[in-house]
Amino acid sequence: MPASDRGMNDAFNRELERERDHDRHELSQSVQTNVPLLNPQQKEVYEILMKVVDEGNGGLFFLDTPGATGNTFLMSLIFATIRARSGIAVAVASSSIAATLLEGCRTAHSALKFPLNLQTIEQPTCNIAKNFAMVKVFIAAKIIICNECTMTHKRALEALDRTLKNLRKDSRCFGGAMILLSDDFRQTLPVIPRSTAADEINACLKSYNLWHNVKKFQLVANMRVALPNDPSAEDFCKQLLTIGNGLVPVDKSSGFISFPPNFCNFVSSKDELIENVFPNMIANHKNGEWLSERAILAAKNKYVDDFKFCNSECNSWYSAFIQIC
């Protein structure tokens, strides 16, 4: 078969069309429904950020969002507002689990082609050639959201800055694009193999040389507590903030903290953990809704590999979980 004669323009336009291919009516309705629900702080941030989007002057913004303060809710609303007006909004996240939180979000490494060895390159750029199909999308984007950004290496931001200046032929920061970072620095910092705590702090976005120029906003009202369906959430959220703010004493000999009383349920074995999270797995393993409500998270891949499953009937399911987790 002769090769089809498709120019690069086709690929560019396909990506642009895909980014604009949303049900604008449905998005407008969702915006109309959700804007009145915003709490005063969320509303203030939403209005400021949408004004920046409308003015089109770009800039670097950071939204500090402790757990459950409505980061996902607000990001989704900003996304929907821009898309409902046929604008292009790009969302990336530092991990694939985090990318599932926002519609159309991809991992930063996949969408922006960051080099894999960021920590060893002094002046990295994204591996985006000018004929890369997403280039027009990055040029046209009203906003680039980097969700759950605290795990991102500061050099990723440097690479994005260099690349956008080059693609958009604009010497302003990030080529004049609007970049919105969001997350909570009480959570995980960049993971650097065989590093010290100092290496992680040095790699963190707060060590980025333009960090002092970032315009910062904060959400503080915990919406899971405000919603009436979870009375235990208030204590749990306070405990999380206490740990995140470094207020729980560290044991000098071990370097560990002790969890506050009633913080969580402890189990004594992996089997007990699995039985608690996935009770009666054999009966439930084909129930997608039941499965989507539970997960076991592990801090390291080696702990994931340690999970051994012996039940042949749903062995394949167990394996699938562990990969996802």
Ligand X SMILES: Nc1ncnc2c1ncn2[C@@H]1O[C@H](COP(=O)(O)OP(=O)(O)OP(=O)(O)O)[C@@H](O)[C@H]1O
Per CB under 6 A, does 73 bind ligand X? yes
**Residues 58, 111, 148, 230: is their CA dihedral positive or negative?**
positive
Contact status: 297 vs ligand X (CB under 6 A): no
Taking CB under 6 A as the rule, does residue 220 contact ligand X? no
- What mask of x and - would describe binding to ligand X in positions 99 to 118, judged by CB under 6 A? --------------------
Q: What secondary structure letter does DSSP report for 87? A: -
Residue 38 binds to ligand X (criterion: CB under 6 A): yes
**DSSP per-residue codes, 213-233:** GSEEEE----HHHHSTT-TTH
Q: How far is the CB of 50 from ligand X (least distance, A)?
A: 16
Q: What number of chain residues touch ligand X (CB under 6 A)? A: 15
Residue placing its CB nearer to ligand X in the complex, 163 or 222? 222
Residue 81 touching ligand X (CB under 6 A): no
Phi and psi for 237 in degrees, rounded to 5? Answer: -65, -40
Nearer to ligand X, 147 or 163 (CB): 147
Q: Which is nearer to ligand X, 88 or 237 (CB)?
A: 237
In order, the DSSP letters of 254-276 are T--BPPPTTSS---SSHHHHHHH
224 binds ligand X (CB under 6 A): yes
Residue 121 as a binder of ligand X (CB under 6 A): the answer is: no
For 98-109, b/e burial (b = at least 16 CB within 10 A) is bbeebeebbbbb
| Pick 227 or 250: Cβ nearer ligand X | 227
Among 65, 94, 152, 163, binds ligand X (CB under 6 A): 65
72 binds ligand X (CB under 6 A): yes
127 binds ligand X (CB under 6 A): no
Determine, following the binding rule CB under 6 A, whether residue 163 of this chain makes contact with ligand X. Answer: no
Token code pair at residue 127: 């591996």
The amino acid present at 162, given as its one-letter code, is: R
Cα-based distances in Å from 89 to 82, 153, 251: 7, 22, 46
CB of 120 to ligand X, least distance (A): 31
Q: How far is the CB of 57 from ligand X (least distance, A)?
A: 27
Q: What is the SS3 assignment for 143?
A: strand
Distance in Å, CB of 197 to ligand X, minimum: 24
223 or 241: whose CB is closer to ligand X? 223
Nearer to ligand X, 97 or 133 (CB): 97
Hey, which bits of the chain come out as E strands? 59-64, 89-93, 106-107, 143-147, 178-183, 215-218
- Classified as helix, coil or strand, 162 is helix
In whole angstroms, the minimum distance from the beta carbon of 73 to ligand X comes to 3
Estimate to the nearest angstrom the gap between the alpha carbon of 127 and the chain centroid: 21
Q: Which of 12, 53, 61, 70 binds ligand X (CB under 6 A)?
A: 70
Q: Which of 31, 53, 68, 112 binds ligand X (CB under 6 A)?
A: 68
90 neighbors 143 (Cβ within 8 angstroms): yes
Residue 37 in the binding site for ligand X (CB under 6 A): yes
Q: Is 295 in the site for ligand X (CB under 6 A)?
A: no
> Is the distance from CB of 74 to CB of 38 less than 8 angstroms?
yes
Minimum CB–partner distance for residue 9 and ligand X (Å)? 38
- Identify which of 185, 190, 176 has the alpha carbon closest to the alpha carbon of residue 218: 185
Alpha carbon distance 178, 116 (integer Å): 24
Q: Under the criterion CB under 6 A, does residue 244 sit at the interface with ligand X?
A: no
Minimum CB distance to ligand X, residue 115 (Å): 28
Please answer whether residues 72 and 91 qualify as being in contact, where contact means their C-beta atoms are separated by less than 8 angstroms. Answer: no
Number of H helices, E strands in the chain: 16, 6
For ligand X, the binding residues (CB under 6 A) are 37-39, 42, 65, 67-73, 223-224, 227
